[in-house]
Structure 1
């Protein structure tokens, strides 16, 4: 299908500009409210930094992405676009509240599950078996918290969201879904607008309002692609392989060692990279290198060879797991080498 380039480009540009403007205002707001993340043993930054800038991405996406689903052909059902917007707003609202006043786990998780149930129900209505609903709810909640875990150094989550959202937009365009492509591109533009303030050294952090909502949005766009064509799930999941691998293996490792996996820590690979002496920019560059050298080509191969999609996806994650183990060992070696050098 032909895509009206002028209105589509205008909507994507609007998402970028709106994110820029709102994030700039969020910096001033966070300073006035004292919403600052201070350095600490379990944190990777060295100076007090305002948080909550993710509200800029949320507003930019809500102002553009649902409308893209409705205005471009083939238009998505109104109830699905509405559920998408409401679920996004719910996840963002509980994150915004938590950024202001720390909340217990259960209320946050309850709202997140409710948002995923709302979106999953709308996604399943008239198109999918309701047996998929529990998996959609659990998958959405995991994505929300996974991306919250991975928001720990300057620019890394905004960079990842930009990469994955662009990839999802390309997949949607190739599947003949311009409305979905424009909607995902609006997310990418909003992430880029935030990244301008969050790149090393960050002027503001996104906070739970941003990290959790980005996790939901990436899940939602992946699920929408899956509804269009089940085979598109594999390249979409490959695009997120760096974050899924790091978060999953880190939490599994902590669980097997008997540690409280749900508490703050510095055990993710990106944190080990910084602890071993890399800057935030260098740590983020390692993830970007994986995305460009491995994830993007393998996602394209999975898309180009749909019959082999799940196999290529499994191979991707096996390679990612091996790379994670080797990188962790390298970081430990660097830390030990530095310590022995200082001692001598």
Structure 2
């Protein structure tokens, strides 16, 4: 390993360690804070847990990432523009603030969505100031707002969202490093380390939940890293999208199904695949293992293919999401059939 590589890796390793330790400490303090303030998610018909559990632990991820990601992006060469980094942190703080507020006292959907769109727009405008073309702005804002919400939707069982954050962030760090973007690789690694620190308290049985303060902010970070990879090299976007295929597919297909069935899609429910897994009697650990298996045996190989063969990136992405859709449809159908059979059996 050359001296130049060592000189680049050394500060990144330090920032990653700091991110992990910060998340670990802040999440531990958040548990005590939630107990004092009575911030508990109560069990219910539309929830997957069975005992009252503190929420708001995602604040540990946010503190760790806000303090370390800018250091990576600005100090590791080639550094990212100051205005992009500042806009990213401002956007994250806005999402974390509205989420923290919602964790304390539930807010209407419209104000939350308005803040989300504004935060994403601030980051996207800064990202596009020196290219690519401005016609990408509406699509980027829409994608960022959806990333925030889909990660919120998928935060429903112990360890799942933190596990996904670790996988996606680590997955994006590798192509970023190989593509000559060590600052972005370090930033992604810090996000993974912060998620790991939170996961230590959130793995089944969870001692604390992430809450909106963490889930929405993590969704913004995932979007931001993908967008920055896309700006650095457009061919990297396909591998990045593949890494998130499990969450994007489940959230999107569930939302579309509820809309088509004329249900109140914006209200709480238990229709995601991971929720059906738990509803059928499996543990939260088993539910998270389903998604880990997909990430390990499908998403990771297809993402590697898309990175190694840039000309095949779009095809790899389409294949991945086609397989994900098929798996989702088959699994949901089997779970629903078992549920109907169980109901009929009980009544007879």
TM-score normalised to structure 2 length: 0.96
Match of 2:77 in 1: 73
Question: Could you say which residue in structure 1 is the equivalent of 2:198?
Answer: 194
Matches within 5 A, 1:1-344: 2=5, 4-336=8-340, 338-339=342-343
CA-CA distance at 1:8 after TM superposition: 1.3
Matched residues in 2 for 1:146 and 1:260: separation?
16
User: Deviation at 1:6?
Assistant: 2.2
SS of the residue 2:235 aligns to:
helix
Q: Is the 8 A contact 1:276 1:332 kept in 2?
A: no
SS in 1 for 2:296: helix
Q: Deviations over 1:29-57 (max 9, x none)?
A: 00100000000000000000000000000
Structure 2 residues not aligned, in runs of 5+: none
Q: Distance in 2 between matches of 1:294 and 1:109?
A: 33
In 1, Cα distance between equivalents of 2:335 and 2:75: 49
For residues 146 and 262 of structure 1, the distance between their equivalents in structure 2, rounded to whole angstroms, comes to 12
Q: Secondary structure at the match of 1:260?
A: coil
Corresponding pairs, count:
344
| SS of equivalent residue, structure 1 residue 278 | coil
Q: Post-superposition shift, 1:128?
A: 1.1
Aligned-pair CA distance for 1:308:
1.1
Unmatched tracts of structure 1, length 5 or more = none
Deviation, structure 1 residue 293:
0.3
Deviations 1:161-204 (A, max 9, x none): 10000001011001110000000000000000000000000000
CA distance in 2 between partners of 1:196 and 1:295 (Å): 24
Q: Once the two structures are superposed, what CA deviation does each residue of 1:81-103 show, in whole Å capped at 9, x if it has no partner?
A: 11111111111011001111111
User: Would the aligned equivalents of 1:275 and 1:335 in 2 still touch at CA under 8 Å?
Assistant: no
Any conservation in 2 of the 1:88–1:216 contact (CA below 8 Å)? yes
